[in-house]
């Protein structure tokens, strides 16, 4: 089982930036890692995903050009650089690891992921 621990959340004003980190430990056959977010009363949705073999990265439309997913394989850390944050980005952000390959048509489906972190809160004020 993979253990995931997120950090880097916080409160910022609109237009600000944050970088989320997800430290990974434990035996893993992970091939796809992703960030999801969930706002109060809403479903958990995919934000970005990255194949561990250096393949494609995927982003939900609302964050394209503002968010960047990246990995430090030597340190086993997944990052999410978030720039130009907006109030609609306010949510709990979760790191997820999956043993199925990231695919264009379903990378944002939470059921495709096997392990989850506890989440880190991001709050953006206008």
pLDDT tens, residue by residue, 16-33: 999 999 999 986 788 899
Which of 25-34, 39-48, 93-102 shows the lowest per-residue confidence on average (mean pLDDT)?
25-34
pLDDT, position 43: 97
- pLDDT reported for residue 111: 95
- Give the pLDDT confidence score for residue 24 in this predicted structure: 93
- Per-residue pLDDT at 54: 77
The dihedral region occupied by 7, where left means phi > 0, alpha psi between -120 and 50, and beta the remainder, is: beta
**Residue 55: pLDDT band by 50, 70, 90 thresholds?**
confident
Q: Residue 31: count other Cβ atoms within 10 Å of its Cβ.
A: 15
User: 19 near 10, Cβ under 8 Å?
Assistant: no
pLDDT over 90 (residue 2)? no
Is residue 13 over pLDDT 90?
yes
Mean pLDDT calculated for residue range 43-69: 94
Q: Tell me what the pLDDT averaged over the chain comes to.
A: 94
Report the distance separating Cα 61 and Cα 72, nearest Å.
24
């Amino acid at each position: 089982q993979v253990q995931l621990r997120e950090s880097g959340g916080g409160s910022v004003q609109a237009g600000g930036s944050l970088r989320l980190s997800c430290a990974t430990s434990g035996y893993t056959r992970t091939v796809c890692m992703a960030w999801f977010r969930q706002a109060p009363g809403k479903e958990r949705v995919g934000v970005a995903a990255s194949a561990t073999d250096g393949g494609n990265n995927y982003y939900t439309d609302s964050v394209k050009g503002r968010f960047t997913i990246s990995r430090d394989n030597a340190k086993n850390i997944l990052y999410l650089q978030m720039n130009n944050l907006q109030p609609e980005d306010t949510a709990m952000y979760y790191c997820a690891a999956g043993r199925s390959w990231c695919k264009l048509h379903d990378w944002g489906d939470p059921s495709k992921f096997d392990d989850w972190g506890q989440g880190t809160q991001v709050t953006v004020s206008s």
